[in-house]
Amino acid sequence: MKENEKRTEILIERARVEQRVAELAVEIVEGYEGKDFVAVAVLKGAYIFMADLHRALWDAGVDCEVDFVELSSYEGGTESSKNPRITRDLDRDVAGKEVLVVEDIVDTGWSLDFLERYLIQKGVTRVKKVALLSKPSRREIEVKVDYVGFEVEGWVEGCGLDTDQKGRGNPNVVVVKVIDE
Ligand code: IMP
Ligand code: MG
């Protein structure tokens, strides 16, 4: 998509995102009842949410470990291939640990469902999931998302989310309108 074919509109302002991330951190900390966990972010989309959430978790009293995985599911387009693969694996052995998966957005649910199975197969004792955004109307796979920042519709960018690798740095969540002519 070229820049001049694209128009964006603010859906969620930066200040509202920051406030919601702080609320999520408090909810998450309450849910772990003092137990240790590893936060695992899904690259690339979740890197900004992960950084914000990690600091908010710290503010809420938790010093958790972090790790990263990268999945390929979209391969450049905007439709899920329904066949995610790990393209960058965890650095750490997570067997016997609790994991909090940190996602930018849950769309069809294929990626999160795949990652949860993968982590359980690696010996993770409990997998919880947080997503900054969710599109429940698009779900193809029933996957429980324990903590959701906001429910959205349409194609969105910002806060780490991209369109063809662009738009990630926008501190607001914006919805993308494609102009046809
Ligand atoms: P799912 O497997 O369909 O749930 O896809 C989830 C992944 O697709 C997310 O982690 C995002 O990387 C990407 N994705 C889904 N919807 C959007 C969107 O509206 N904007 C940007 N990326 C998206
Ligand atoms: Mg993602």
Tens-digit pLDDT profile for residues 102-112: 999 999 999 99
pLDDT of residue 15 exceeding 70, the answer is yes
pLDDT in tens, 59-70: 999 999 999 999
CATH number reported for the structural domain that contains residue 65 in this entry: 3.40.50.2020
pLDDT of residue 77 exceeding 70, the answer is no
| In-domain check, residue 125 | yes
**In DSSP terms, which residues pair with 101 in a beta bridge?**
40, 129
pLDDT of residue 137 exceeding 80, the answer is yes
Range of the domain at 84: 15-154
| In-domain check, residue 79 | yes
Q: Whose CA is nearest to atom 16 of ligand 1?
A: 107
Q: How many domains does the chain have?
A: 1
Task: Answer whether 8 contacts ligand 1 (Cβ < 6 A).
Answer: no
| Predicted TM-score (pTM) above 0.85 | yes
What's the 111 CA to ligand 1 centre distance in angstroms?
8
| In-domain check, residue 132 | yes
| In-domain check, residue 69 | yes
Q: How far is CA 44 from CA 15, 29, 70, 104, 164, in A?
A: 22, 24, 7, 9, 12
| In-domain check, residue 2 | no
Q: How far is CA 53 from CA 63, 65, 148, in A?
A: 11, 12, 12
Task: Answer whether 21 contacts ligand 1 (Cβ < 6 A).
Answer: no
